[in-house]
């Protein structure tokens, strides 16, 4: 989230699309109801289904699954063609004025540089025109035909209300009402927040969905202001923190990068990432990358990391290819993976194309499940009739289930979706023989290292280089680990005058103190300050809100630097004055930037220096057009899902997202509309959390059984009875469930044709207390977003028929 949960209470318009906050985040959704109650805010929901969020909305608009970009681009077009934008914000805080290279272009649905065979782009033409002074060229009048603003106007022209309706099936009046409410915030007086979740990410064009939303917010001037933002409502309680600490294939904690094969030396890695400013006086904060990287290495390898050995850079594994979870299961399916450790993860339920997952898991030599409750994955080898029809005798995988403590039996910190790091206390003794994750992993690591010390083996040096100097190597404490993440001074740190500013051994107060010479450590720069010289700030529980704007600055610690609203310099105009009294937040008080939050800016830089508010970007401004940073284009384009009921009405020749990766053999598992005429979408129910709570009694009571949501029209066409059984099948598998025939889903008219869609909740499987069901990912296609590889679960093709109940 760019903003915070409580900041949603400052919104004048709340737009929920690509998510269902009332069901997936009920207690965060409270701040929507607060905005409505206290400020008269309007809530609009755009969703294929009339959800429980829609039930309390002021306006609901239906949309065909997978067509969000067409809808959002229609909003962009509306704002631009009706001149409903926050002009000064756009001129000064976005790259609207930047001129783009002449070689860049877009025609027939493709950008310049496309390679059809490789399904990717040569992105070299996706760049700014550079001036002789080494800076990018701008036209502040926004009139040059090559400026981003003019290119954007042209790019979005096709997305008229008629076209949006033709693609998305949304009635024009319902679409236009959304446009009008969005436009009502494009003025600095009112703010709109956008709340989204997996409804936007789980598409082959997921990242571009979110980019389009961000563009709308930038055109309206809604980024960096209270009640604004593009707010990703994340899934698990600590998915933010777990991602922060880098448990992703290509990551190092704090959004640094794992080296790749073409970066043989530390210097070659760093040189590519310390971006030079593209305008005079810009901050370009990633220039500090090397300080963060070296501090990480010092923390990771401890005393063994020295300037002479590039701080241990060679010991880090180098990435040959990114193993996102789809590739992980593809690799497993190819028989190239021997061991899998699942820690609080149930991939059989979570990964696309369940039959492929089972085949992959069956090729493993060993599988370890570290989970408080039994998962479907841990029992993938077990025959559960039609729900998991396997022959255990043929599966040679050794499987372990290790009992681990639940949330209530351990202490430590979590980071919520608002980036706020908060501490929890252990409330009970470990149940049964369970141990904490840290105990289990420490035990495993110590055992493995002992084996290597005793017997030798391959890759001994990097393994033994890892710093493991915990008081008790078998039980590193949360306190020790959070301190390690924060970092400390390794020698007396001095300022330019030679004064000691941080004594050796002291915890660092901020990442601004990190150095690139090995004199500081810290595993994750973005958390620096959480456990500084003042102690563990994640334990702070002062819930006062002096500004009344929902800024709880002394509750926990919000990374980075305890900032609650990101890009908050943009809440003031270029002169440093609030855009309006009504939206006053951070402003220049004559000496420094002040207000209720921590400025997202160097606090003493005066407005006249014209340093942009987006300090992480070398431009100093936000990007309406993203240069070469996205694999599938600097602007979003409406591409149909890979499985679509219609040809792309704008670019009929293009199937799916032309830059999305499709594994060899997987093109064949896609079905087409001839055989599978019905669109399906998957989602969570409020009564359940993913795949856990089917094993939690009370939640199994609340929603006991898998069902399929079907419109009255489709039910009539197919002879499906309310509460009767149906079978749903795709080109990859089938599921059976009860039919919930509802007015909350209605067929849509797409390109002149009636399109039916159905809804499939994802919470049911064959292990737990709820009724057994086939995992919904029996149906889903194994293709991911072109940028993030998030699987396309939200729009795919199936067929459906009524059946008598299952035999099992």
Partner 1 sequence: MFPPIPNPTAQSATPKFGEKDLIRRSASTVTPPQQRQTEVAKLIDVSKCIGCKACQTACLEWNELSEAVGVNVGVYDNPHDLTPNTWTLMRYTEYENPRSGNLEWLIRKDGCMHCEDPGCLKACPAPGAIVQYSNGIVDFVHENCIGCGYCVKGCPFNIPRISQVDHKAYKCTLCSDRVAVGQGPACQKACPTQAIVFGSKDDMKQWADKRIADLKSRGFDKAGLYDPPGVGGTHVMYVLHHADEPHLYAGLPDTPRISPVVEAWKGVGKYAGMAVIALTAAAGVVHHILQGANRVSETDEENADRLAGGKS
Partner 2 sequence: MNIEVSRRHFMKLAGAGAAGSAVAAFGFGAAEAQVAAHVKPFRLVGTKEARTICPYCAVSCGMMVFAAPNKDNNGKLEVTHIEGDSDHPVNRGTLCPKGAAAIDYIRSKTRVQYPMYRKPGTNQFERVSWDFAMDRIAKLVKEDRDANWIEKNKDGVTVNRCTTMAFLAGSSLTNEGGWLTYKVARGLGLLQIENQARI
Choose the binding region for partner 2 from 94-102, 188-196, 476-484, 634-642 (rule: CB under 8 A).
Answer: 476-484
Q: Is 549 in the site for partner 1 (CB under 8 A)?
A: no
CB of 497 to partner 2, least distance (A): 36
- Total number of residues that touch partner 2 (CB under 8 A): 167
Residue 407, CA atoms < 13 Å, CB-side half-sphere: 7
Question: Which listed option, partner 1, partner 2, none, makes contact with residue 723 (CB within 5 to 8 Å by class)?
Answer: partner 1
| Nearest of 768, 762, 753 to residue 352 by alpha carbon | 762
Q: How far is 196 from 193, CA to CA, in rounded Å?
A: 10
Return the residues of window 670-709 that contact partner 1 according to CB under 8 A. 686-687, 697-707
Cis ω for the linkage preceding 440 (within 30 of 0): no
The total of other beta-carbon atoms located within 10 Å of residue 96's CB is 28
Q: Is 324 in the site for partner 2 (CB under 8 A)?
A: yes
Return the residues of window 764-783 that contact partner 1 according to CB under 8 A. 769-771
CB of 547 to partner 2, least distance (A): 13
Q: Is 331 in the site for partner 2 (CB under 8 A)?
A: yes
Return the residues of window 38-57 that contact partner 1 according to CB under 8 A. 38, 40, 50, 52-56
Return the residues of window 411-470 that contact partner 2 according to CB under 8 A. 411-418, 420-422, 424-429, 431-438, 440-445, 447-448, 451-452, 455, 457-459, 462-463, 466, 468
| Angle between helix 148-156 and helix 68-81 axes, rounded to 10 deg | 120
**Do residues 796 and 803 touch, judged by C-beta distance below 8 A?**
no
Question: Which listed option, partner 1, partner 2, none, makes contact with residue 366 (CB within 5 to 8 Å by class)?
Answer: partner 2
Token digits for 366? 């060993």
Choose the binding region for partner 2 from 342-350, 669-677, 718-726, 794-802 (rule: CB under 8 A).
Answer: 342-350
The total of other beta-carbon atoms located within 10 Å of residue 77's CB is 22
Report in angstroms the alpha-carbon separations of 630 from 122, 411, 437, 652: 11, 39, 36, 23
Q: How far is 344 from 649, CA to CA, in rounded Å?
A: 42
Q: Is 705 in the site for partner 2 (CB under 8 A)?
A: no
CB of 803 to partner 2, least distance (A): 29
Token digits for 678? 């019905």
The total of other beta-carbon atoms located within 10 Å of residue 690's CB is 14
Q: Which of 58, 127, 314, 705 touches partner 2 (CB under 8 A)?
A: 314
Q: Which residue has the tokens 């010289």?
A: 533
Instruction: Compare residues 400 and 716 and give the one whose CB is closer to partner 2.
Output: 400
Q: Is 459 in the site for partner 1 (CB under 8 A)?
A: no
Burial class (CB in 10 A: 0-12, 13-18, 19+), 289: buried
Return the residues of window 32-91 that contact partner 2 according to CB under 8 A. none
| Nearest of 204, 119, 200 to residue 789 by alpha carbon | 204
Site string for partner 1, 712-751 (x = CB under 8 A): ----------xxx------------xxxxxxxx-------
Choose the binding region for partner 2 from 40-48, 161-169, 667-675, 695-703 (rule: CB under 8 A).
Answer: 695-703
Return the residues of window 508-547 that contact partner 2 according to CB under 8 A. 523-524, 527, 541, 543, 545
Q: Is 775 in the site for partner 2 (CB under 8 A)?
A: no
The total of other beta-carbon atoms located within 10 Å of residue 548's CB is 9
Q: How many residues does the chain have?
A: 808
Token digits for 594? 């002040």
Token digits for 555? 């509750």
Site string for partner 1, 636-665 (x = CB under 8 A): ------------------------------
Q: Which residue has the tokens 């390679």?
A: 115
CB of 42 to partner 1, least distance (A): 8
CB of 525 to partner 2, least distance (A): 13
Token digits for 89? 């914000």
Q: How far is 366 from 787, CA to CA, in rounded Å?
A: 31
Provide the binding-site residues for partner 1, judged by CB under 8 A: 22-23, 26-27, 29-30, 33-34, 36-38, 40, 50, 52-56, 58, 60, 686-687, 697-707, 722-724, 737-744, 769-771
């Amino acid at each position: 989230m760019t903003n915070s949960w409580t900041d949603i209470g400052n919104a004048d318009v709340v737009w929920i699309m690509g998510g269902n906050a009332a069901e997936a985040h009920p207690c965060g959704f409270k701040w929507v109801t607060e905005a409505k109650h206290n400020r008269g805010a309007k809530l609009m929901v755009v969703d294929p289904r009339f959800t429980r969020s829609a039930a309390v909305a002021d306006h609901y608009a239906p949309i065909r699954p997978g067509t969000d970009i067409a809808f959002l681009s229609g909003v962009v077009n509306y704002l631009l063609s009706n001149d409903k934008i926050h002009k000064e914000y756009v001129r000064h805080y976005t790259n609207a004025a930047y001129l783009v290279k002449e070689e860049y272009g877009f025609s027939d649905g493709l950008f310049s540089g496309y390679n059809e065979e490789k399904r990717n782009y040569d992105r070299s033409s996706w760049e700014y025109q550079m001036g002789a002074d080494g800076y990018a060229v701008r036209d502040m009048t926004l009139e040059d035909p090559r400026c981003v603003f003019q290119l954007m106007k042209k790019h979005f022209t096709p997305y008229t209300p008629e076209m949006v309706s033709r693609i998305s099936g949304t009635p024009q009046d319902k679409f236009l009402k959304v446009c009008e409410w969005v436009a009502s915030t494009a003025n600095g007086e009112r703010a709109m927040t956008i709340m989204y979740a997996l409804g936007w990410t789980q598409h082959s064009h997921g990242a571009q969905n979110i980019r389009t939303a961000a563009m709308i917010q930038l055109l309206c001037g809604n980024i960096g202001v209270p009640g604004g933002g593009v707010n990703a409502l994340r899934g698990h309680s600590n998915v933010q923190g777990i991602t922060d600490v880098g448990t992703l294939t290509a990551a190092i904690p704090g959004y640094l990068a794992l080296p790749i094969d073409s970066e043989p030396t530390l210097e070659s890695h760093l040189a590519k990432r310390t971006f030079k400013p593209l305008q005079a006086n810009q901050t370009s904060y990633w220039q500090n990358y090397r300080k963060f990287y070296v501090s990480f290495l010092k923390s990771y390898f401890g005393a063994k990391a020295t300037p002479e050995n590039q701080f241990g850079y060679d010991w880090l594994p180098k990435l040959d290819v990114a193993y996102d979870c789809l590739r992980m299961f593809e690799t497993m399916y190819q028989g190239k993976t021997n061991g899998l450790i699942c820690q609080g993860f149930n991939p059989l339920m979570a990964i696309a194309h369940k039959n492929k997952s089972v085949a992959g898991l069956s090729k493993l030599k060993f599988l370890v499940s570290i989970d408080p409750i039994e998962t479907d994955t841990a029992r993938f080898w077990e025959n559960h009739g039609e729900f998991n029809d396997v022959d255990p005798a043929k599966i040679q995988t050794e499987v372990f289930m290790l009992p681990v403590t639940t949330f209530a039996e351990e202490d430590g910190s979590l980071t919520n979706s608002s980036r706020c790091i908060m501490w929890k206390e252990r409330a009970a003794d470990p149940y049964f023989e369970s141990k904490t994750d840290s105990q289990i992993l420490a035990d495993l690591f110590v055992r493995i290292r002992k084996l290597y010390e005793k017997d030798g083996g391959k890759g001994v040096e990097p393994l033994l280089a890892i710093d493991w100097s915990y008081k008790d190597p078998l039980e590193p404490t949360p306190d020790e680990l959070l301190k390690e993440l924060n970092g400390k001074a390794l020698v007396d740190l001095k300022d330019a005058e030679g004064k000691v500013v941080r004594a050796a051994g002291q915890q660092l107060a901020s990442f601004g103190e990190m150095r690139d010479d090995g004199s500081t450590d810290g595993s994750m720069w973005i958390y620096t300050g959480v456990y500084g010289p003042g102690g563990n700030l994640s334990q702070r529980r002062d819930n006062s809100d002096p500004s009344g704007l929902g800024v709880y600055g002394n509750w926990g610690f919000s990374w980075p630097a305890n900032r609650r609203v990101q890009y908050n310099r943009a809440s003031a105009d270029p002169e440093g004055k609030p855009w309006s009294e009504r939206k006053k937040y951070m402003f220049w008080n004559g000496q420094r930037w002040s207000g209720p939050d921590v400025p997202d800016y160097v606090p003493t830089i005066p407005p006249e220096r014209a340093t942009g508010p987006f300090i992480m970007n070398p431009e100093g401004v936000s990007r309406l057009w993203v240069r070469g940073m996205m694999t599938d284009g600097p602007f979003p384009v409406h591409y149909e899902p890979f499985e679509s009921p219609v040809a792309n009405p704008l670019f009929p020749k293009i199937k799916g997202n032309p830059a999305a990766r499709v594994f060899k053999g997987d093109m064949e598992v896609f079905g087409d509309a001839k055989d599978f005429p019905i669109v399906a979408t998957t989602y969570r129910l409020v009564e359940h959390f993913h795949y856990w709570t089917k094993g939690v009694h009370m939640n199994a009571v609340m929603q006991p059984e898998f069902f399929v949501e079907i419109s009255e029209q489709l039910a009539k066409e197919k002879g499906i009875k309310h509460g009767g059984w149906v079978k749903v099948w795709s080109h990859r598998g089938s599921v059976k469930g009860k039919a919930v025939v509802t007015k909350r889903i209605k067929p849509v008219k797409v390109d002149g044709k009636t399109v039916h869609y159905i809804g499939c909740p994802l919470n049911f499987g064959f292990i737990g207390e709820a009724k057994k069901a086939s995992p919904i990912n029996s149906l889903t296609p194994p293709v991911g977003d072109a940028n993030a590889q998030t699987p396309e679960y939200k729009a795919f093709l199936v067929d459906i028929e009524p059946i008598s109940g299952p035999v099992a």
